[in-house]
Amino acid sequence: MTFPWQLEPWIRLGAFAGVLALLALGELLAPRRRQEVGRATRWPANLGLVALDTLLVRLLFPVAAVGAAIFAEERAWGLFNLLALPAWFEIALAVIILDLLIYGQHVLFHAVPPLWRVHRVHHADLEFDATTGLRFHPIEILLSMAIKIAAVVLLGAAALAVLIFEVLLNATAMWSHSNLRLPTRVDRVLRHLFVTPDMHRVHHSIVPRETHSNFGFNLALWDKLFGTYRHQPEAGHEGMTIGIPQFRDRGELKLGRLLLQPFRTEGR
């Protein structure tokens, strides 16, 4: 039976909406931190960026990453099309390799000043919740999609693997940024394999050495393997300050200001 690829956008939309709704409810019932800046102030711009990013990707990359995988598969392009791997193993390996790619891309966007100016839109949120995981400047989203498409074609990753990865990336980005309180024991067990909200929250600290740590969104392996893992913020999760020094005014949370932020003269 052929997979109904025309349903791919709806599968992704359904997963996105379902995960966001569950996490938003969880944040209300069991919040990790008390938030000084409420959802009504932050969410319009954060969700506005999601809508704008999605529109631009669909306009500029009509086939996106899944379409690129189908295109490469039909022409037998890429590494996996040269190897006789079991389908399940190829899918799992592709998801892991693409997750490593996103980790490396994230490190790069912190290390290269022009890329940091684009990426700091994500870090300039004054609070930390599921919508922070969706808050990316359109330039970053377009660059990220171009990188993913190139990687998918070079790998020859199966379209199903790419769809699974895209759904996982979106869901784990929201999960790892959620303001959700987990029992300490659960957090400790989960972070052996996966990035937890407490683990990634350190990355959004105003303290630079904490900002430049815990880059992973999904698998915790990469930070531990490459020496970028930091267990806890020095000030504790309740005491830490979220954001970056340059953009502390609530007026900076408006959509127009976020779109202009990479072009502002403030330093790194």
pLDDT tens per residue across span 12-47:
899 999 999 999 999 999 999 999 999 999 999 999
Phi, psi of 219 (to 5 degrees): -85, 130
Predicted pLDDT of residue 149: 95
Predicted pLDDT of residue 267: 43
Q: Identify any residues that bridge with 205 across adjacent strands, giving them in sequence order.
A: 242
d(CA 159, CA 151): 13
d(CA 132, CA 201): 11
**Cβ-contact 94, 161 below 8 angstroms:** yes
Between 208 and 8, name the one with better pLDDT.
208
Q: What band does 143 get if pLDDT is binned at 50, 70 and 90?
A: very high
Percent of the chain predicted with pLDDT > 70: 97
Q: Is 31 helix (H, G, I), strand (E, B) or coil?
A: strand
Q: Identify any residues that bridge with 180 across adjacent strands, giving them in sequence order.
A: 31
Q: What band does 150 get if pLDDT is binned at 50, 70 and 90?
A: very high
Percent of the chain predicted with pLDDT > 90: 85
**Cβ-contact 179, 33 below 8 angstroms:** yes
Local structure of residue 218 (DSSP, 8 states): S
Predicted pLDDT of residue 158: 93
Beta-carbon neighbour count of residue 209 at 10 Å?
Answer: 9
pTM recorded for the entire structure: 0.93
Q: How far is CA 144 from the centre of its chain?
A: 10
